[in-house]
C-alpha cells in the first residue's frame, strides 16, 4: 500500500461518521449493544470491536491500523507512552527463569526495565555490543527468549545488522524486538527484515508536534493478540481517544517531516564536521560514520537526530556554547517541529545524581522543521565563540 494511502485514508470509514473527512474523537469509555447476541459477538473479538476503551476504541483503532500498515505488520497496539509499549512487548515474551539479550545502549528506561526491573521477577539480562554479531550470538543462552535491539540508538547511533540478527534469533528459536523510533517507519521497516516486534516512542516522529506522549507495538496477529490479552488489558497503559486523534493529525505529515528533517540534518552534519570547534560528528548518513554502509543497506534515510563532540577541554567553554544558542531549545526528547539541543553536560554536576558515563563534550542535536540557514546561523555563532 502506498504511504499516501496509509497516512491519508487507511482505516477511515467515513460513511460511519457523516462522511466527515477528519475522524471524530470517540470520547466514550464504553459502548452499548442492541441485543444480548450482539453483546456476545463483540466480546468474542474485544481486541477489534469497541466494548470498553481500555480494549478497543474507534479513534484509537484507526491509529492502530495505520501503524501496522506503516510497519508492514499484521496488527498493532498503541499505548500511553513509548515505555508502556516497550514494557508490554518485553513482558509478553519473558517468564521467570528466562533470559534477555539486549544491545548495550538502548533507551535509558528500556535499559532500566531489563537490567534492574525484570531481575526482581527472575528474568536475567545480558547487555552486548550489537555491532558484533558473534558477540550477540555469544550472549544467547539456553534460556534466552528475547533479543532486544535498538538500531540506530538515539545518542551515538550504533546499528545492528537487522537481517542477520533476525536470522540468528530464528535459528535459536528466540523472539526479536526492536525500538525503531530513530528511523521511523518511513526510513526503516524491521519486520520486512525478519524482526518479530517493532516498538515505537510515538512521542517522537509519529506524533511529531511535541504535544502527545504515546507508544506502539507492531507485530504479527499472534503476538498482538497475546499482548492484548496480557499486558494491554492487564496493565492498562492505553492511549486516550483524544491523544490518538492528535497523533492521527500528526501522522498526516509524517513523510514530509521526515524528508525535511533528514535533509536539514545531512546539511548541518556536514557543516559541523568542517567546523574547527567540533571534534567529530555521529550521523549514520555521513560517509565518515563507522557503519555508514550498513545504514545505507537497511535504511532509506536517517532523519533529524545527530550528535557531535566539542573539541574544547574546558567545561566552562562548553557551558557557554549552550547558553549562546538562541534558536535551538535546550530540552530532552526529539522528533517534533522544534530543533533541540541535549547537552550531556546538563547531566553533570546535578545535585543528588552521579555524573553519567558519557563524556560532557557530547552534544545531541535534533533538527526540526525550521529553515536550515536560520538554524546554522545560530549554531555557527555559538561554535565560533568556542576557543579551538
Ligand atoms: C523517548 C524514547 C523512548 C520512550 O518513549 P516515551 O514515549 O517517552 O515513553 C523509547 N525509545 C527511544 C529511542 C526514545 O527516544
My answer on whether 240 and 263 are in the same domain is no
CA 83 to ligand 1: nearest atom: 9
**Grid coordinates standing for 140?**
544467547
Say if CB 78 and CB 239 are below 8 A apart: yes
My answer on whether 297 and 207 are in the same domain is no
My answer on whether 237 and 190 are in the same domain is yes
Å from CA of 217 to ligand 1 middle? 13
Boundary residue ending a domain (232, 251, 270): 251
**Grid coordinates standing for 314?**
574546558
| Structural domain total, the chain | 2
My answer on whether 267 and 240 are in the same domain is no
My answer on whether 191 and 320 are in the same domain is no
For 312, phi then psi, to 5°, come to -60, 150
The CATH number of whichever domain residue 154 belongs to comes to 3.40.640.10
Å from CA of 166 to ligand 1 middle? 23
My answer on whether 322 and 236 are in the same domain is no
Boundary residue ending a domain (222, 251, 280): 251
- With a CB cutoff of 8 Å and minimum separation 6, the contacts of 268 are 306, 365, 367, 372, 375, 376, 379
Boundary residue ending a domain (236, 251, 266): 251
Q: What is the pLDDT along the chain (388 residues), one digit of tens a residue?
A: 999 999 999 999 999 999 999 999 999 999 999 999 999 999 999 999 999 999 999 999 999 999 999 999 999 999 999 999 999 999 999 999 999 999 999 999 999 999 999 999 999 999 999 999 999 999 999 999 999 999 999 999 999 999 999 999 999 999 999 999 999 999 999 999 999 999 999 999 999 999 999 999 999 999 999 999 999 999 999 999 999 999 999 999 999 999 999 999 999 999 999 999 999 999 999 999 999 999 999 999 999 999 999 999 999 999 999 999 999 999 999 999 999 999 999 999 999 999 998 999 999 999 999 999 999 999 999 999 997 6
Beta strands in 180-242 (DSSP E): 197-201, 215-219
Å from CA of 73 to ligand 1 middle? 21
| Ligand 1 surroundings by CB, under 6 angstroms | 81-83, 107, 154, 179, 181, 201, 203-204, 213, 215
- With a CB cutoff of 8 Å and minimum separation 6, the contacts of 119 are 125
My answer on whether 234 and 269 are in the same domain is no
pTM: 0.97
- Structural domain boundaries enclosing 225: 3-251
My answer on whether 178 and 212 are in the same domain is yes
My answer on whether 309 and 279 are in the same domain is yes
Nearest protein Cα to ligand 1, atom 4: 82
Amino acid at each position: 500500500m502506498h504511504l499516501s494511502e496509509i497516512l491519508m485514508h487507511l482505516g477511515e470509514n467515513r460513511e460511519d461518521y457523516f462522511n466527515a473527512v477528519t475522524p471524530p474523537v470517540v470520547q466514550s469509555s464504553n459502548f452499548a449493544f442492541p441485543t444480548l447476541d450482539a453483546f456476545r459477538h463483540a466480546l468474542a473479538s474485544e481486541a477489534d470491536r469497541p466494548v470498553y476503551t481500555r480494549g478497543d476504541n474507534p479513534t484509537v483503532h484507526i491509529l492502530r491500523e495505520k501503524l501496522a500498515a506503516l510497519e508492514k505488520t499484521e496488527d498493532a497496539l498503541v499505548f500511553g507512552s513509548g515505555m508502556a509499549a516497550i514494557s508490554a512487548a518485553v513482558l509478553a515474551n519473558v517468564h521467570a527463569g528466562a533470559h534477555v539479550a539486549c544491545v548495550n545502549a538502548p533507551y535509558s528506561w528500556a535499559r532500566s526495565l531489563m537490567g534492574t526491573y525484570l531481575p526482581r521477577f527472575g528474568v536475567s539480562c545480558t547487555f552486548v555490543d550489537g555491532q558484533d554479531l558473534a558477540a550477540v550470538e555469544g550472549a544467547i543462552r539456553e534460556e534466552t527468549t528475547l533479543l532486544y535491539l535498538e538500531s540506530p540508538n538515539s545518542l551515538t547511533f550504533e546499528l545492528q545488522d537487522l537481517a542477520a540478527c533476525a536470522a540468528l534469533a530464528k535459528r535459536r528459536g528466540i523472539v526479536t524486538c526492536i525500538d525503531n523510533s530513530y528511523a521511523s517507519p518511513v526510513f526503516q521497516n524491521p519486520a520486512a527484515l525478519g524482526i518479530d516486534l517493532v516498538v515505537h516512542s510515538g512521542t517522537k516522529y509519529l506524533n511529531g508536534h511535541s504535544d502527545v506522549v504515546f507508544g506502539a507495538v507492531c507485530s504479527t496477529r499472534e503476538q498482538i493478540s497475546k499482548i492484548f490479552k496480557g499486558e494491554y488489558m492487564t496493565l492498562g497503559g492505553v492511549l486516550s481517544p483524544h491523544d490518538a486523534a492528535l497523533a492521527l493529525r500528526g501522522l498526516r505529515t509524517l513523510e514530509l517531516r521526515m524528508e525535511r528533517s533528514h535533509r536539514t540534518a545531512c546539511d548541518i552534519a556536514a557543516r559541523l564536521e568542517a567546523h574547527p570547534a567540533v571534534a567529530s560528528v555521529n550521523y549514520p548518513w555521513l560517509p565518515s560514520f563507522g557503519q555508514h554502509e550498513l545504514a545505507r543497506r537497511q535504511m532509506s534515510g536517517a532523519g533529524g537526530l545527530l550528535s557531535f563532540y566539542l573539541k574544547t577541554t574546558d567545561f566552562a567553554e562548553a557551558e557557554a556554547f549552550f547558553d549562546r544558542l538562541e534558536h535551538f531549545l535546550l530540552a530532552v526528547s526529539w522528533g517534533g517541529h522544534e530543533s533541540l539541543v541535549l547537552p550531556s553536560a546538563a547531566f553533570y554536576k546535578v545535585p543528588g545524581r552521579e555524573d553519567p558515563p558519557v563524556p560532557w563534550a557530547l552534544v545531541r542535536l535534533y533538527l526540526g522543521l525550521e529553515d536550515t540557514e536560520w538554524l546554522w546561523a545560530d549554531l555557527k555563532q555559538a561554535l565560533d565563540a568556542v576557543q579551538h
